[in-house]
Structure 1
Amino acid sequence: MSTDYSVLIDKETWAFIDRTNSFYPPNAIDLTIEEQRGVYNTMCRAFFAGYPEAVSSMDAFIDARDHRIPVRVYDKSGSKPEAVCLYFHGGGFVVGGLDSHDDVCAEICDGTGFRIVSVDYRLAPEHLHPTAFRDCRAAFEHVAVTSDLPIIICGDSAGGNLAAAVTHHVRLHDRAPIGQVLIYPGLGGATDQGSYLTHAEAPMLSTRDTVYYANIRGGGFNWSTDPRFAPLNDPDFGGLPPTVVISAECDPLSDDGRHYRDKILAAGGKAIWNNEPGLIHAYLRARHSVERARSSFRRIVTAVHLLGQGRWPGQL
């Protein structure tokens, strides 16, 4: 199915796509894992926007059962945090880390005044599923024990998957998250229908890419019935906290957000889904150069802020 991206995507966004592709080529999955990480890290450094003046960060470790998990903790000076937000970065479970989303986390901290804890979960293929999930859940357990602040969980792309998976598994915890914000998440939807067909060849992320990352993460095993791998396939959507899902229109993953919202609503929960017109996967890095991305990032920060205060955004 052919989609005319020359109509859907504006000039600002095309300029961002071209700049991204100059660092991280569309066929990056054909590179070795080491090469993928090299070009991704170079790209992230090129887009790094620095910290807002009032924000500082500190690196630390969480001692899990079999591993020390690196984290980066962000705070805003002159602001007493009302909540703590766990952030899980994107990168297909293969690339990314504390530095790749460093400025994004700093700006969420600045916009909300919340403490942000970014988690450097272990990556595939060296560490297959469910390692990343276990690291993220361990980070939640640590925050739940060491802080009395309300907890929000947030993540983009692969991190959105992990955010949802952790939220599903800790919903009965006495310190369960009071909200979650998922940014263009991949949640395990069927790749032979809907947006996976309509946007199979979307700029920045193709359906072929999504299949590749799932195979790498799962070690070639079909984990599709495991909610830790594919939260959309959890048979129980009851008891989840208020949820905001923000997808990009020109992204094979967009229907995952819609279906996830629908399942929460069908189970009697609260959820909204924004499908950002004309935007593409990974547009967080365009928030300073593309007006559509800038506006969407403001909505993301607003969602984190309101949910962390126990308020329901209603619509964004």
Structure 2
Amino acid sequence: MQQPMPTETGILQFLAICDSFYPADAVAAPISQQRQWYDALCARFDQPLPEGLTTEDALVLDKIATRHYRPQAIRTQTVLLYLHGGGFVVGSLESHHAICAEIADFAGAELISVDYRLAPEYRWPAQTDDCFEVLKHLLVSGRQIVLIGDSAGGNLAAGLAIRARQQRLLGIAGQVLIYPTLGGDLVSGSYSEMENAPGLRTSDVAYYRTSLKAPPGDPVAEPLAAASFAELPPAFITVAHFDPLRDDGRHYAAKLAKAGVEVWFREEPQLVHAWLRARHMSEGARLGFRAVCEAASRFAAA
């Protein structure tokens, strides 16, 4: 099958750099090697942090590592809670460090990033449990929260919103889901159309699901399987056209809207999975990242 491919020059350059760090068959390598490649790739796109922004690492409940970002100018008391991507297998506080800093600075809000436990050493629900503990800790303090996550982190963010609704926890001002994986069927729609997309293939998604071992149909693990989408927080959902996960975001946005939830949906026509890292070299990614930052800022100011 011919590989679908965008034409934007900046994103093609981004893909070439990614290929030089992260081979197409990376998921066949040992976990330690995958994490080494991923960390090196992420470091390649690092940018200097915004001027005046400070960071501090801290343990929540003496066990969950987090990183706190505080921009020079704070304009809201709402806290942004960021959950990183990486297929639940790779990723860390370092992998999304610059991304978190830039979002916090744009929104004028404190941001907390969670270093949740990874598969396959820790299977589901370790990841959502770690993030939920941090969320509850913040809500108990009386702070309003905006959930933000990319890819696997988008799954965790959507799942946290559902868990909070199940437990009648109030205080989530919004959810920003960036090319999220939400439990699509792997055989139809974008999973078929973009099966061999650059940056992420459907077989990669299957590998990550196997590593996580989440129960099929559980609405926290697979938010698309929720029995009801009513009374969930307002959402901003952005997807990439050249991404097998694309239709997960499309379908989730439609289900939320049908249930009366306020939704902003954006599809990036020339972007691929993980385009956040291309925000300083691709015009499409730059505009997409600005939309993410504006959404986080809007929810935080509400």
Counterpart CA distance in 1 for 2:143 and 2:48 is 27
Q: 1:55 aligns to what? A: 53
**Quick check: 1:75–1:115 contact (8 Å CA) kept in 2?**
yes
Are residue 260 (structure 1) and residue 255 (structure 2) matched?
no
CA contact (8 A) 1:163 1:182 kept: yes
What stretches of structure 1 move > 2 A for 4+ residues in a row? 1-4, 78-82, 171-176
Counterparts of 1:111 and 1:225, CA distance in 2? 37
2:263 corresponds, among 271, 289, 292, to: 271
Conserved? CA contact 1:9–1:279, under 8 Å? no
Equivalent residue number for residue 287 of structure 1: 279
Q: Over aligned residues, Cα RMSD in angstroms?
A: 1.3
Match for residue 157 of structure 2? 163
Q: Alpha-carbon deviations, 1:172-196, whole Å to 9, x = none? A: 5343311100000000011110000
Q: Tell me, what secondary structure is at the counterpart of 1:20?
A: helix
Higher alpha-carbon deviation: 165-174 or 269-278: 165-174
Secondary structure of the equivalent of 2:102? helix
Secondary structure of residue in 2 paired with 1:285: helix
| Equivalent-residue separation in structure 1 for 2:230 and 2:74 (angstroms) | 35
2:31 is matched with 33
The corresponding residue for 1:12 is 10
Query: Where does 1:1-316 land on structure 2 (aligned, <5 Å)?
Result: 2=2, 4-5=4-5, 8-63=6-61, 68-146=63-141, 148-171=142-165, 173-218=168-213, 223-310=215-302
Q: Relative contact order (alpha carbons < 8 A, sep ≥ 6): 1 or 2 greater?
A: 2
- Which whole-Å CA distance do the structure 2 matches of 1:107 and 1:246 have between them? 18
Query: Number of aligned pairs?
Result: 301
Q: Once the 2 structures are TM-superposed, how far is the Cα of residue 125 of structure 1 from its aligned partner? A: 0.3
Q: Which amino acid aligns with 2:249?
A: G
Whether the 8 Å contact between 2:88 and 2:208 is mirrored in structure 1 is: yes
Q: What is the CA-CA distance between 1:83 and the residue it aligns to?
A: 1.2
TM-score (norm 1): 0.92
Answer whether contact 1:161 1:230 (CA < 8 A) is retained.
yes
Partners of 2:148 and 2:273 lie apart in 1 by: 16
Question: What's the CA shift string for 1:70-92, capped at 9, x where partnerless?
Answer: 00000112324331010000000
Q: For 1:57 and 1:286, how far apart are their aligned partners in 2?
A: 23
Letter in 2 for 1:298: R
Q: Which runs of 5+ in 1 are unaligned?
A: 311-316
Structure 2: gaps spanning 5 or more residues: none
SS at match of 1:279: strand
Code of the residue aligned with 1:160 in structure 2: it is: G
Measure, in 2, the Cα distance between the counterparts of 1:249 and 1:165: 23
Q: Is the 8 A contact 1:157 1:184 kept in 2?
A: yes
Output the amino acid matched with 2:279: R
Q: Say which SS state the counterpart of residue 172 (structure 2) adopts.
A: coil
Q: Answer yes or no: is the 8 Å Cα contact 1:54–1:110 preserved in 2.
A: no
Q: Distance in 2 between matches of 1:98 and 1:31?
A: 22
Partners of 2:216 and 2:278 in 1: how far apart?
A: 32
TM-score by length of 2: 0.96
Q: How far off its partner does 1:54 sit?
A: 2.1
- The share of aligned pairs that are identical, in percent, is 41
Residues 116-158 of structure 1 show CA distances to partners (whole Å, capped at 9, x for unaligned) of: 0000000000000011010011010011123x33210000000
Query: Per the alignment, do residues 193 and 76 of structure 1 end up closer, same or farther by CA in structure 2, a change over 3 Å counting?
Result: same
